[in-house]
Structure 1
């Protein structure tokens, strides 16, 4: 048993000290800090108060003032300046960099606003969209005046319909709770997806590297292949938990520090407050089970190859299973009650993501969750037993091995021992 822990901690510490692990962790933490501080970063680059000046030629003589008021009310960084020269002179000013663009406004045959926008490049769609939106509001007001619609009537016409949603089922989540659950599930699905691919691939590479360097022959003489496999799986598992703990702590404290500035858009729709403890618990459970499922597969698949170059080809089908589960989970975020999602959530290769999705967003019977976990554990045990036999023979196989037919050869070698 001492040999088991020696390999376990050697795997953990050797990977922990590698430059690739440290650099990856640091870069990922920096990216996470950048994302959670995006508002502050944007404000930093805009601290000089830079604005986008737009030259406006108003051929009607009555649109510039209301347009400027609309743009001011929109509270953006666009400043309108009425240009007194002709269009050619204005274009020259845009080319010289005095203005970001040129807006020509006039009244059409119906007496309603019409405009054209010119700039050195129209790749930036924000400015034209803001200008068009303001002109649209002016057009609506002018058109309503032409057909004698009072402002109160116009407000009533464009007022959104009263539409309330409520669930009849007892214990069903409210819309606010669903948004909170959707946000948490969305984030954790990405964590599960990338963690499974990254760390399962790491295990396969570790085994293949040892075989290619012939270290495996020395290890086999002192430690059984089965102990080696599970020591590597648990060692890399501890490594993944270490890295995720660092990243989650960085993200948590960064979000906590910037909570006041994180308003609107994503942070309003995907609220993260008042998340049930059960959802967090299920996230941890399905993450660990999903890791062991794919890590076991990666270990015995990695044992079949003798060259590092063949690892990716061998584990590609496993990777495609993870990708398929993730894509189905993305679909399920919008339709978690779809029969397709319900039935596939019991398939062990997809349940770490799909059943967690259903648990987080729906009020499902406990027996469904328990059944899914039981099937997942049974599959892990089966793969562990089967994988141990393949691993035991696979580590003795050398030469070009990039076919699943090699599993039979590995099993045959295990029997002959």
Structure 2
């Protein structure tokens, strides 16, 4: 649990914290423990946590907790956690390496595995991560003591593959839920399905986005009682019912539920289809009170028509447009303000989509070396005043952006920052 909570802490830091917690439990859960044992022990731990030389996991919020005293400080420290890893670092060792480490020191091997696996899949619901780690350690124990370890590992790995896949998938999905929150995730899911199945009825897309988001709202979290495997299986069933005419969706739906989920999640954006020309919503619709559903609908329609433009670009575009709409709708003459902005909005949207599509379209179309060559030539042509060295630096920056963020299910936090910092077209208020 602490490896999940402090997913960026070192093994040694987690070890110190676990040892301290276990020691407190052993001392204060004894029959002869005094009534104030736990309170005193927890207070001592909070003092130790606030020490600059503390061996416990480091956290940027510790300093703000440590200005408090007593129970308030303890509750503040207990509520701290680190953001989950967007780029997993866990790499499973070979069978030989695993058995060598296990035979050398089984306890240390097991503890280190629990730390590495749990910190990498920090958003996987607790029941799933417990089942998965127990399954893995049982496999290691059985196979490393078997005369036929190779065949044992092969058989056991196949048996636990669905459980491992559930661990990976639930972590990915719950991480997005933790990052986005319910409303933002619903919008994100609608964009994703609009690009993967552009021929689908937008109402069906929104229904599926809402249902999938509700699944994660019910199933993600440290202490959820919902069975995420059953919930995700039902979500897959609903997707298969809503989009039966899409060939790629149908192919995924022939697989078992967890394999179908991976298939649907990994499915790349579809090729664009011919759709009617898209018009900006009227000023009256854009300025309706409450959530800006009209703008969200517009962005989903934009995604249907620009299937190769990754969600992170569309999201940035949406934020910029929402700022303009909000500013205009707060003025005395909102209609006049928006009417004046519409021409500018239309032109800027075209430029933004053109540049984003050009970057990601070329990245997906050409081998990386050729993509980078084309990037250098294009930048040299567009910015003739820049030195060759500066062009090369800019090309490198854009190539890195493309390799990370021009892919399906790109890491949202990392890519949002990269897109914000990149020298690409932006909407101006």
TM-score range, shorter chain: under 0.3
- The structure whose RCO (Cα within 8 Å, separation 6+) is larger is 1
> So what's the TM-score if we normalise by structure 2?
0.25
> So what's the TM-score if we normalise by structure 1?
0.26
Larger radius of gyration: 1
The structure with the largest strand share of the pair is 1
